Amino acid sequence: MKQQILTMLELQDSMNAKVNKDWRQQNFEWYRAIWIECAELLDHHGWKWWKKQQPDVNQIALELVDIWHFGLSLLLLKDHTLDDISDSVIKAFDEVEASGDFAINLEQFTTNTLVTKDFDVNGFVGLVKGINMQFDQLYIAYVGKNVLNFFRQDHGYQDGSYHKQWGGKEDNEHLVEIVAKLDTNLPSFKDDLYSEMKATYQSLCK
């Protein structure tokens, strides 16, 4: 688990630096990105009493992964070592349990985000466990999206030369298929994923 957290921290730092090499000095409003995602997440959970709604757990999970990107960024800005950060995340996953009403917990997490302009790790873990999402699922989903974002940037996403359709299927679909073939427990998972994506892309988008 610790190695997986360290991998995610490394990936987040690299992605932020790809967008802006001096990202740590820019004072980006990461907390604002989090609460906007929280509003989108609540829509997927459902809150309208005047119509029948069922929580869309898959979409909720995707929104939590997006929040995790921004949360990791805030954790990286703290004056802590990567080991200290990973230990604090492990502690939260060990100690926090899902409890109460998910929507209320989400509102409390959002409130904490707005008041502190920081990342409420315990509150986030409570939401993850509130949809029975396992840490490994969070890790795989996070790494997959991060590597795909890197891959898109490296292959012309900004100048429009990137092909989102590979042989008639979207890159997201290929991502799922490639991840299913890999050993996600290996420290090299992110590199293996990128290599497989590159080989597939080159074979289908010549």
Q: Are 47 and 103 in contact (CB under 8 A)?
A: yes
Q: Which of the pair, 49 or 23, is modelled with greater confidence?
A: 23
Query: How many helices and strands in the chain, by DSSP H and E?
Result: 9, 2
Instruction: Name the percent of the chain lying above pLDDT 90.
Output: 57
Residue with tokens 């985000």: 113
Q: What is the pLDDT of residue 193?
A: 93
Q: What is the pLDDT of residue 121?
A: 96
Q: Which of the pair, 30 or 20, is modelled with greater confidence?
A: 30
SS3 call for 21: coil
Nearest to residue 9, comparing CAs of 51, 71, 72, 63?
Answer: 72
Residue 139 pLDDT > 90: yes
Question: What mean pLDDT value characterizes the chain?
Answer: 91
Q: Which of the pair, 124 or 148, is modelled with greater confidence?
A: 124
Q: Compute and round to an integer the Cα radius of gyration of the chain.
A: 18
Q: What is the pLDDT of residue 29?
A: 94
Structure tokens at 86: 């990973």
